[in-house]
Structure 1
Amino acid sequence: MATSTSSSGLQRGWGGIALIVICGGLISMLAFGPRSAMGLFLAPLSDQRGWGREVFALAIAIQNLVWGFGQPLFGAIADRWGEARVIIAGALIYAAGLALTATADTPLMLTLTAGILIGLGISGSAFAIVISAFGKLLPEERRSWGFGIGMAAGSLGQFVFAPLGQAFISNYGWQNAFYYMAIIMLAIPFLAIGLKAPAGGHKAAVSQQSFGQALSEAFSHRSYVLLTIGFFVCGFQVAFITVHMPAYLNDVGMPPQYGAWSLAMIGLFNVIGAYSAGVLGGRINKRSILVWIYLLRAVAIAAFVLIPITPASVMVFSAVIGILWLSTVPPTSGLVAVMFGPKYMGTLFGIVFLSHQVGSFAGVYLGGVFYEIYGSYDMFWWLAVVAGLFAAIIHYPIREAPVARLQPAG
């Protein structure tokens, strides 16, 4: 078959495109898996160490914050030196963080390992770097589809690692579960080879815009600022659910396995949601997709709070929220690529993702604080509803168009 080309992508045949997408998808799946299963460790780790839930919640909140602040940094390094090198380094840090978390016997050590080390490891190896690679290595007409594949694969990691993590904990204990997941992360450096650009690939077909000019252009662009603010809400909602959902279900009398299967169901249905969002992003307005996602999230969370908790309601909510989960990422990253092009995508999407992770910090930590103050999560669920409505409103004015620098003359 003839090769596919684009003005900004590298020339790729279908074999090359498949290799990029498969390797990137597997990296997303593996890197997102342990992080999404962290909520399973909240109760057993806290109980054995004799800590309140806010200790673990703070460590994971810091993990999200470090992930966020590390993302623009690793994105900038990837823009300069290539995504493959960044992913290899990130995976090794990730594996070290998981292994050392098993030995953390003080709140400070838990923060340093589960919080800082794992946070840095994720920022260097997870889907944001994969999406940056896709933006540079895939032809323009395949980008939105590739973004959807990357996020769908990450969600598949949640589906796989939620029951896998619970099985590890149940059969071998929570400490050994961390060791086993660390070993699994060591497969990522080998997969990263598939995302290595050809010699000079990252310097091909790009503008002469400097790094500082790119940042100035982005922060003076109204739609980019709104997109960045809106992505805060995505992190706020999904991180709260990821970490606190298993404990919430335990509190209302559900057996522990429902927490794991709820996270697994979310991950499974987000495979559908993320892939669909990627496909739709290549056909219809990405802003509209985001408005509807945030609006429907608010409706789904409100219904979950109002309807009595049963096994059926948990599974239905998990499926619905799963479709709306990280399906925000393909249209959000796609808007960044449309607005500014692929040259500094690692950095610019990294900054947007930083906002997501600041939201994640708030969602995880404040969820624990609200629980300690009120003895339940009820008030926080309603705060998540209000946040969803806010995000839907501020995404509405976003324009999906290249900046003037990238528009054809005349």
Structure 2
Amino acid sequence: MTQVLVCGAFIVTLSMGIRHGFGLWLQPVTMDRGWTRETFAFAIAVQNIAWGIAGPVAGMLADRYGAYRVLVVGALLYSLGLVLMALSTSGLAFTGSAGLLLGMAQSGTTYAVVYGVIGRNVAAEKRSWAMGVAAAAGSFGQFLMVPVETWLISTWGWQNALFVLGCLALAIVPLAVGLKEPAQAAATGFQQSVGSAVREAFAHRSFQWLMAGYFVCGFQVVFIGVHMPSYLKDHGMAPGVATTALALIGLFNVFGTYTAGWLGGRMPKRYILSGIYALRAVVISLFLLAPLTPMSVYIFAATMGFLWLSTVPPTNAVIAQIFGVQYMSMLGGFVFFSHQVGSFLGAWMGGKLYDLTGNYDMVWGIAIALGVFAALANLPVREEPIPRGQPAVAAA
């Protein structure tokens, strides 16, 4: 278990740490290339939707053939996508590299694939905690990588910074060795076909509610992560304020995700999720109502950071609790697809509505309303294991 947790945590640290800093490239890229903010935002939106679409496929392949192979392919795509992102000279090429390639890469190097291995190798009573540890590692990656990426951009330029990150992404390959599983690991216990597992999940009302809540999570965090630096600069803040804010989000998310995972073993996870979304709506509202100063930004970043990805451990733990772990990566990928639809809209609408109105006010309002909706949507979730009859015959 220790090997799985350590290697999985380092993989998520790298994969999530790199992507959390993409908002830092918005202004240098658009100014250098002469593009609108919507061009950059659309590429990041495509990245998120490609990640979501590829997620269930990557999860299914990891469940069936092992996470190691999926992680290696994902790492290679990650490196290639970052290099081509630096070399893209048109909006279409930028969308293909920063959007499509990196989205596919992230589907094979982040939570769904890693959580599948954790779910099969950690006892049920410790599963939520273990997922919290892995999620906290991804948060630490944001805290660690955002200042590094800022330094790389300011010292070597935005293109060379991407080349360096492309080399760094290859470190996922040796780490993936620690997530190799015995061939028989995925064939023990209750067996079910892929089609049966998908039909069963999508017919389950709690699965539908989890998808609805995760949609909101994606919208909120990607809008803030991508557009916060530009929002602060528009209001006269120094670039260092945005860097510090993103780092604080990552730092406090370490505590938030670990706490959510720890609480998931001690109280109903639906209450944890509902509370997180309700608090997000309150925190965003207070941030907009308060005078905008560096201190108010830091308080918002720290508080929002605590709630940032704290939805991840309880959501995935509920999936494992209801449906078991045989197809956990795949089912987690489907729920994450909903997250990425929200991410697409959060990134793209942030740029689109800014270009139309000259500010982000409308998108902030949408983020608040969605937080209230998600708080209500998670309350009907039922966490009991789904009743099943005789084991089904395993199928491809």
Question: What TM-score bracket applies, with the shorter chain setting the length?
Answer: over 0.9
Report if the CA contact (8 A) 1:61-1:361 is conserved.
yes
TM-score for the superposition, normalised by structure 1 = 0.94
Alignment of 1:9-158 (within 5 A): 17-158=1-142
Question: What is the one-letter code of the residue matched to 1:354?
Answer: F
Are 2:320 and 1:376 aligned? no
User: Aligned with 1:327: secondary structure?
Assistant: coil
Say which is worse superposed, 357-366 or 376-385, in terms of deviation: 376-385
State the alpha-carbon separation in 2 of the partners of residues 19 and 47 from structure 1.
Answer: 44
Of residues 369, 379, 382, the one that matches 1:399 is 382
**Deviations, residues 242-287 of structure 1 (Å, cap 9, x unaligned):** 1000000000000111111111100100000000100110111000
Report if the CA contact (8 A) 2:9-2:138 is conserved.
yes
User: Aligned with 1:54: secondary structure?
Assistant: helix
Of residues 218, 223, 245, the one that matches 2:201 is 218
Offset at 1:139?
A: 2.0
Offset at 1:378?
A: 1.3
Question: What is the one-letter code of the residue matched to 2:211?
Answer: T
The match for 1:182 is 166
The match for 1:250 is 233
User: Aligned with 1:288: secondary structure?
Assistant: helix
Report if the CA contact (8 A) 1:137-1:197 is conserved.
no
Unaligned runs of 5+ in 2: 391-396
Distance 1:279 1:92, change over 3 A: same
Report if the CA contact (8 A) 1:32-1:127 is conserved.
no
Of residues 291, 306, 313, the one that matches 1:323 is 306
Are 2:328 and 1:354 aligned? no
Offset at 1:348?
A: 0.6
Report if the CA contact (8 A) 2:191-2:326 is conserved.
no
Alignment of 1:164-203 (within 5 A): 164-203=148-187
- Report the RMSD for the aligned CA atoms in angstroms: 1.0
Are 2:286 and 1:303 aligned? yes
Question: What is the one-letter code of the residue matched to 1:303?
Answer: L
Question: What is the one-letter code of the residue matched to 1:272?
Answer: F
State the alpha-carbon separation in 1 of the partners of residues 326 and 192 from structure 2.
Answer: 9
Question: What is the one-letter code of the residue matched to 1:306?
Answer: L
**Deviations, residues 57-96 of structure 1 (Å, cap 9, x unaligned):** 0000000000000100100001100111111110110011
Offset at 1:136?
A: 1.2
**Deviations, residues 133-188 of structure 1 (Å, cap 9, x unaligned):** 11112222221111001100001111111111100000000000100111111110
**Deviations, residues 313-334 of structure 1 (Å, cap 9, x unaligned):** 0000000000000000000001
Question: What is the one-letter code of the residue matched to 1:369?
Answer: K
Offset at 1:382?
A: 1.2
Offset at 1:126?
A: 1.2
State the alpha-carbon separation in 2 of the partners of residues 286 and 185 from structure 1.
Answer: 33
Report if the CA contact (8 A) 1:340-1:406 is conserved.
no
User: Aligned with 1:102: secondary structure?
Assistant: helix
The match for 1:3 is none
Question: What is the one-letter code of the residue matched to 2:349?
Answer: L
Offset at 1:405?
A: 1.3
User: Aligned with 1:170: secondary structure?
Assistant: helix
TM-score for the superposition, normalised by structure 2 = 0.97
Offset at 1:406?
A: 7.9
The match for 2:265 is 282
User: Aligned with 1:404: secondary structure?
Assistant: coil
Question: What is the one-letter code of the residue matched to 1:217?
Answer: E
**Deviations, residues 209-257 of structure 1 (Å, cap 9, x unaligned):** 1111111111111111111111100000000001000000000000111
The match for 1:10 is none
Q: Which runs of 4+ in 1 moved over 6 A?
A: none
State the alpha-carbon separation in 2 of the partners of residues 228 and 119 from structure 1.
Answer: 19
Question: What is the one-letter code of the residue matched to 1:270?
Answer: N
User: Aligned with 1:332: secondary structure?
Assistant: helix
Say which is worse superposed, 192-201 or 341-350, in terms of deviation: 192-201
Say which is worse superposed, 174-183 or 125-134, in terms of deviation: 125-134
Question: What is the one-letter code of the residue matched to 1:360?
Answer: S
Q: Report sequence identity in percent.
A: 50
Offset at 1:129?
A: 1.1
User: Aligned with 2:388: secondary structure?
Assistant: helix
**Deviations, residues 339-395 of structure 1 (Å, cap 9, x unaligned):** 100001011110000000000000000011110111011121111000000000111
User: Aligned with 1:316: secondary structure?
Assistant: helix
State the alpha-carbon separation in 1 of the partners of residues 8 and 51 from structure 2.
Answer: 19
Report if the CA contact (8 A) 1:96-1:182 is conserved.
yes
State the alpha-carbon separation in 2 of the partners of residues 161 and 87 from structure 1.
Answer: 20
Offset at 1:203?
A: 1.4
State the alpha-carbon separation in 1 of the partners of residues 99 and 389 from structure 2.
Answer: 40
State the alpha-carbon separation in 2 of the partners of residues 137 and 208 from structure 1.
Answer: 17
The match for 1:207 is 190
